[in-house]
Structure 1
Amino acid sequence: MVIARRWICLVLLFVSCCSLPTATAADGTLQVANLRCEYLTDPLGIDVLHPRLSWQVQAIDADQRGLKQTTYQLLVATSPELLTPETADLWNSGKVCSPQTQLVEYEGEPLASDTVCYWKVRVTDREGKLSDWSEPARWSMGPQADEWSAKWIGAVAGESDGHSWDPWLRKHVTLTSPAERAELHVASVGYHELYVNGQKVDDSLLEPAVSNHRKRARYVTYDIASLLVEGDNVIGLWLGTSWAAYPLYQSDDKPSLPIVAAQGTVHCQDESTVAITTDASWKIHPSGNRLLGSWMFRNFGGEHQSPTLHIPEWNRVDYDDHDWSAATVYEPQLMVSAEMVERNRAVKTIQAIEIQQVADNEYRADMGVNFAGTLQLDLTGTPGSIIEILSSEYPAEALTHNLRSEVIVDAQGHATFRSRFNYHSGRWITLRGVTSAPQLEDIRGELVRTDFARSGQFRCSDPLLNQIYDTTNWTLENLALGGYLVDCPQRERMGYGGDGHATINTTLMNYNVGAFYTKWNQDWHDTQDDDGFLPHTAPTFWGGGGPGWSGFCVTLPWEVYQQYGDLRILEQSWPVIERWLAFLDAHSENDMLLEYHVDRNGTAPQWSFLADWLWPGSQGIEELDERLFFNSCYWIYNLQTAASIADQLGHEQAAAKYRARADEVRRAVHAKYYDADDHSYSRGMQAPMALALVVDLPPESERPLVWKRLEREIVEVREGHIHAGITGGAMLFKLLMENGRDDLIAMMTSKTDYPSWGHMLDEGATTIWECWEDPVGRRHSALHSSYLYVGAWPLRSLAGITPGEQAGFAEFTLRPAFVPQLDWVEASYDAPTGTIRSAWRRADGKRTLSIEVPANTMAEIYLPTTGEITEGKKPLNNIEDYLEVETADDSTTIYVESGKYEFSWAE
């Protein structure tokens, strides 16, 4: 509430500043940077009619404190030359009295498809002094769903679609003068690559992002103007089977082959226009590339590549395609929308570190690290023979999870393999059929993922914790291919909601993922049935789970809102949330959930009502009574979160209804499951106990006793080890972080014996495992999302950087946890509003906290002392630099505006 009072004061400040005379830009204290549209930098082909614009204001003098934006002015125009207050032809916002820099909704002229929008912004500081205009940014508008006129085309469907050759498509386009502007929008079921006159258009890979192809296809927009020439041109498309063959995406209106629809307009310098549209006039021919495997659980396979079938000039103007066939036209009932998320790209090259011969003509390469991505191999073999390429996560096995590729050796005895429409996952690569030893430089890999930027950084005095943090983030990056987070990239590639719980706070604190989660949120909406049921994965349907998996449809938008202040994601999610909660209510009795078994074939799947999953030593599903307890508690969590969302949306009656329903369920579950003698639920196990406390299950009089029982479970029964799984572990860390019990987390993260993250690392893991035990014996994944919730703790607790009452980090909290295991911490977080820094150390009986608060924000700082505090080596009594200082029984709270500060006090 203190911060809220500060905001009331600042509103009065903004009103008064709006009446100040405006000084020239040269006098200003602020500069504007990092312009983004819908979270993206200069996005092409968006289909949001009222896009949101964001920027950061930065101090020109980094040592100056208390800097605020009091007004902004936005200009949007159809060309850079028109970006002046007098000529902006799309929008001139005028001077807006507001500190807002994030997600400002466009309110200009209606935006038509194929429009390029250039924009810039300037601001005034609290003295009314103007900044310079920002550098211009841009976005372009793609077609709306009802403007999509391109035909879906592909190869003729046959009996063995899943093993058909990935097709080439080409079309001649004639221009009467050079291209001035040209964007092509390409939607595909299955992956695609776009070529113009023999050149691949950009460096993106494995596009588009994965969608629910029962309902939606997303188009990717490419700028092709620079590759077009006056006269004859050829547009080429290479399609990859991939998700087109996924069994759960099959429907009668489309084949299990890749299909594509593309359209765009070329604007020429002579003011003529040329339309490019896929239809039956496009030519098609099989390539020398095809899928191995069925693109399903344990059989995502790889690729077969045949150089004898490859035609290097297939996408060039001078190639004679007279013997190619006409493309087949299909009419799938798919909604087409823009792909508004960062592209998949290779972000890191990985080189083999060791190659060993394991048998005649068989070699095994160690890549040094477990990773998911593409392979680039240059090999030798007997002409016409097949070289097998086997991927493995386990050191003693050639093949795991059935990931394998193959390449035919050419007539000269060479074999060049380049991953194109599938990807490797593992650390070791076995090559069979190779006639001479490859060199280290002949075997390369690339980590491929959605190319969102890194936002969080952390280091501390404990090498083990640094290694856990780095390995957690490396693991997470290997799970982010395709615009959603998979559980594992080799065996399932499913977007589990339970695993979403385990990863979301780590992802939000370490990466800029507003667009990423907005896309994944839409995937959850696309999978919901009319009765409100949601599968346990999105957009992929397959896989087991329970309310803690499907209920991610409530958690995801709420966490994104708190991190980015995005009200629109709450608005878009609200109907889905209401239907989901109605579904749970319909499957309850006496204010507790019933076990429900639902799938689309009317059968009762074994894995449909899971609670926590993969806790230490777990062999499968818990007893029904324990699952009923856990899932009923999770229902309360969904109700509580939905009530908070309703508050933000102004739905007062819904908020009251969901809180009242949560109270009813809370009373019933506590009455049935509470062991009053032991002050516990579910035998005192960490995960259900934590969830019970998160949802306020114990009455107030019992809550301290339940806390003590949980503490005893961690410290004494489990000797400081974690004993929780995926969803339960996420809830355990949520509880401990939000209640300042970092001492308990510090115990867990310092362990090196089983079960612990340190144990995995001591066993040689380079990525976090699926289970606490060695995955080899259990045939589990060695690269998995299960326990990645640990990656949020260093930033949110040890550095203390957390969102405040006002969502989106316009104000935030800095409450570092000074755990005794550490001597120092250094961290930063590139928040939507600017870079926050937090660093502390203890030495010579003193503690020092150095922080940096970005311009236009304020921070609430908690120090664990009521003794003498200095700031900048001066006593903390100069109130001019602080909004307020408060003391409590054991702490001091300081409210500050932007700037750099250094606080010191005696331990």
Structure 2
Amino acid sequence: MKSVFYFLAIVFLAVFTSCGKITPEKLTCEYMENPAVVDVQQPRLAWINVADEGERGQMQTAYQIKVASSEDKLNTPDLWDSGKVLKSESTRVEYAGQPLQSRTECWWQVRVWDKDAKASAWSEPAFWRMGILNQNEWKAQWIGAPWEGEEHFVRPDYPGQKFDEFGPPAPMLRKSFNIEKKVKSAVAFVTGLGYFEMYLNGEKAGEDVMVPNVTNYGKRPLLGEMLINVEDNFRDYKVMYLAYDVTSMLSEGENVVGAILGNGFYNPRMFWCEGYGTTRFLGQLHITYDDGSEEVIVSDESWKAAKSPILKNMVYYGETYDARLEQPGWCKPGIDAGSWENAVIREAPFGKLVAHTAPADKVMEQLQPVKMEKLENGNYFVDFGQEISGWVRLNNVSAPAGHQINISFNSNLYSGDNTYIFRGEGSENYAPRFNWFVFSGVEIKNWYGELKPENITAEFVYTDVPESAEFETSNPLFNQINDIWKR
């Protein structure tokens, strides 16, 4: 028995001492960790080499990359095996394997050799997914709500024109479909202009907010005096789409996919800035079944549309939400959508569809009030103690149906605010979807009853970029400035 123990100890020691002194970690593709979608056919790969504790002067002298179409195939990769490459590069290493097709899942690993020519262990597997590489592979159509029209919005004093600042309610879109086989995988490639949220069987897809990122969507007309149109000599028009793995959100039987659309910067509804048009949505849900067959659910005129409780949404000027107009379960199976209207086909924006490869905005932090004060006029002022970008969330509040409150943000440059109209049934929760503010405190007008600290939370919204370093000094002001700018 002892001989077996000694043998295993010797083998372990031999393996341990033969490994290199650096280990590849934090693998990225196109500067993102495990990106949900990439649309370049030679993605750039990178990793960070971490030296063993106590090691100094270590360096990478070679690397080997393996890429496969599934994690199970990494031992015998079917897409690329670089072999041992005698180079020290660990950033911007271009993929050089088999041509990548649209929607291909790519799993990869890397190992490196140190200055003593000793190889590391293989890294943990990382992942990227190819997007839709050719524009003609988009079978979906841009759709919108029939009540929005295709009008453009101009200065209110422009002859013969009318500017409707309030605007139509934000559209809700839905499509019901059936699944009768076991699902192996399902990925949705979607976008909406200006902003959108996608839902499947009542659940929101992804944690991102206010997507896609703002781009130069395309040409827009000048329909009045002094309107802003800054892209006359700029031709890099694009519209970003996102990808969501929704495999776990599907079930056998009836399923419902839906979306809510916000104006964003595509349709800013500001008299001093011309928009591109009304809101629209594009979606393509690719379902692969266990038997190898595929099905694609696309946005088209078979979708249904209804007005949401979001009566007004403007990037700078706030949101009005009437909870009495909510349709519980609007994106769940089993509801009667007979009163919904047919969606209409919208003209595609001029910009090319490209993958959303930058980190998205998310609710990254939450703050509780540091001070609450009831003012002489009966309003409440809530101080959160620091300047943030985001919004406030109301938690477990109640008031009679139709009671209206107004939330004003103390540092907002554009005098915007949010208005909430109560449903009047049980506890209610509210946060805006398609606008944000810079503020340190809010004034709440016409509150019903007593406002308690647990009823209100400030939510930090900023880009989900991983920190690569830390900064801390003995000066609290410097630390606070650093905390602000990195958000």
TM range (shorter): 0.7 to 0.9
Distance of 2:145 and 2:97 partners within structure 1: 44
Q: Counterpart of 1:37 in structure 2: which amino acid?
A: C
Q: Counterpart of 2:275 in structure 1: which amino acid?
A: Q
Distance of 1:162 and 1:268 partners within structure 2: 45
* Equivalent residue in structure 1 for 2:459, among 432, 436, 446: 446
Pairing 1:333-482 to 2, within 5 Å after superposition: 333-378=350-395, 379-393=397-411, 401-412=414-425, 416-460=429-473, 462-463=474-475, 466-468=476-478, 470-478=479-487
* Equivalent residue in structure 2 for 1:163, among 164, 167, 188: 167
Equivalent position SS for 1:458? coil
* Equivalent residue in structure 2 for 1:244, among 266, 274, 277: 266
Q: Counterpart of 1:124 in structure 2: which amino acid?
A: W
Distance of 2:166 and 2:72 partners within structure 1: 51
> Partner of 2:202 in structure 1?
198
Equivalent position SS for 1:118? strand
Distance of 1:416 and 1:316 partners within structure 2: 20
Q: Give the CA deviation at 1:279.
A: 0.8
Q: Give the CA deviation at 1:145.
A: 4.6
Of the two, which has the highest radius of gyration?
A: 1
For structure 1, the residue ranges without an aligned partner over 5 or more in a row are 1-22, 394-398, 479-907
More helix by share: 1
Distance of 1:152 and 1:25 partners within structure 2: 57
> Partner of 2:188 in structure 1?
184
Q: Give the CA deviation at 1:472.
A: 2.5
Sort the Cα spacing of 1:376 and 1:186 in 2 relative to 1 into closer, same or farther, 3 A.
same
Query: Per chain length, whose mean CA-contact separation is higher, i.e. which structure has more relative contact order (CA < 8 Å, sep 6+)?
Result: 2
Q: 2:149 aligned with 1:149, yes or no?
A: no
CA contact (8 A) 1:391 1:428 kept: yes
Equivalent position SS for 2:171? strand
Sort the Cα spacing of 1:459 and 1:411 in 2 relative to 1 into closer, same or farther, 3 A.
closer
* Equivalent residue in structure 1 for 2:59, among 50, 68, 79: 68
Cα deviations by residue, 1:689-712 (Å, 9 ceiling, x for unpaired):
xxxxxxxxxxxxxxxxxxxxxxxx
Sort the Cα spacing of 1:162 and 1:43 in 2 relative to 1 into closer, same or farther, 3 A.
farther
Q: 2:316 aligned with 1:326, yes or no?
A: no
Pairing 1:306-317 to 2, within 5 Å after superposition: 306-317=322-333
Q: Give the CA deviation at 1:326.
A: 1.1
Distance of 1:172 and 1:133 partners within structure 2: 45
CA contact (8 A) 2:101 2:133 kept: no
Distance of 2:428 and 2:188 partners within structure 1: 34
Q: Counterpart of 2:84 in structure 1: which amino acid?
A: K
* Equivalent residue in structure 1 for 2:129, among 140, 152, 159: 140
Cα deviations by residue, 1:771-801 (Å, 9 ceiling, x for unpaired):
xxxxxxxxxxxxxxxxxxxxxxxxxxxxxxx
Distance of 1:161 and 1:39 partners within structure 2: 40
Cα deviations by residue, 1:446-471 (Å, 9 ceiling, x for unpaired):
111110012232334x42xx522x23
> Partner of 2:240 in structure 1?
218
Cα deviations by residue, 1:740-765 (Å, 9 ceiling, x for unpaired):
xxxxxxxxxxxxxxxxxxxxxxxxxx
* Equivalent residue in structure 2 for 1:116, among 105, 129, 134: 105
More strand by share: 2
Equivalent position SS for 1:43? coil
Q: Give the CA deviation at 1:424.
A: 2.7
Distance of 1:330 and 1:303 partners within structure 2: 25
Equivalent position SS for 2:307? strand
CA contact (8 A) 2:399 2:424 kept: no
CA contact (8 A) 1:211 1:217 kept: yes
Distance of 1:339 and 1:415 partners within structure 2: 34
Segment drifting more, 204-213 vs 111-120: 204-213
Distance of 1:400 and 1:97 partners within structure 2: 56
Distance of 1:314 and 1:119 partners within structure 2: 40
Distance of 1:272 and 1:145 partners within structure 2: 22
Q: Counterpart of 1:120 in structure 2: which amino acid?
A: Q
Sort the Cα spacing of 1:239 and 1:319 in 2 relative to 1 into closer, same or farther, 3 A.
same
CA contact (8 A) 2:26 2:48 kept: yes
Cα deviations by residue, 1:557-580 (Å, 9 ceiling, x for unpaired):
xxxxxxxxxxxxxxxxxxxxxxxx
What TM-score results when the alignment is normalised by the length of structure 2? 0.85
Distance of 2:141 and 2:245 partners within structure 1: 21
Sort the Cα spacing of 1:136 and 1:425 in 2 relative to 1 into closer, same or farther, 3 A.
same
Distance of 1:192 and 1:338 partners within structure 2: 15
Q: Give the CA deviation at 1:400.
A: 5.2
> Partner of 2:22 in structure 1?
30
Q: Counterpart of 1:447 in structure 2: which amino acid?
A: F
> Aligned-residue CA RMSD in angstroms?
2.0
Q: 2:83 aligned with 1:94, yes or no?
A: yes
Equivalent position SS for 2:483? helix
Equivalent position SS for 1:233? strand
Distance of 2:486 and 2:467 partners within structure 1: 10
CA contact (8 A) 1:187 1:261 kept: yes
Q: Give the CA deviation at 1:357.
A: 1.0
Distance of 1:224 and 1:145 partners within structure 2: 22
Pairing 1:702-717 to 2, within 5 Å after superposition: none
Q: Counterpart of 2:128 in structure 1: which amino acid?
A: W
Distance of 2:87 and 2:370 partners within structure 1: 55
> Partner of 1:174 in structure 2?
178
Equivalent position SS for 1:108? coil
Q: Give the CA deviation at 1:161.
A: 8.2
Q: Identity of counterpart residues, as a percentage?
A: 31
What TM-score results when the alignment is normalised by the length of structure 1? 0.46
Distance of 1:95 and 1:25 partners within structure 2: 21
Q: Counterpart of 1:185 in structure 2: which amino acid?
A: F
> Partner of 1:278 in structure 2?
299
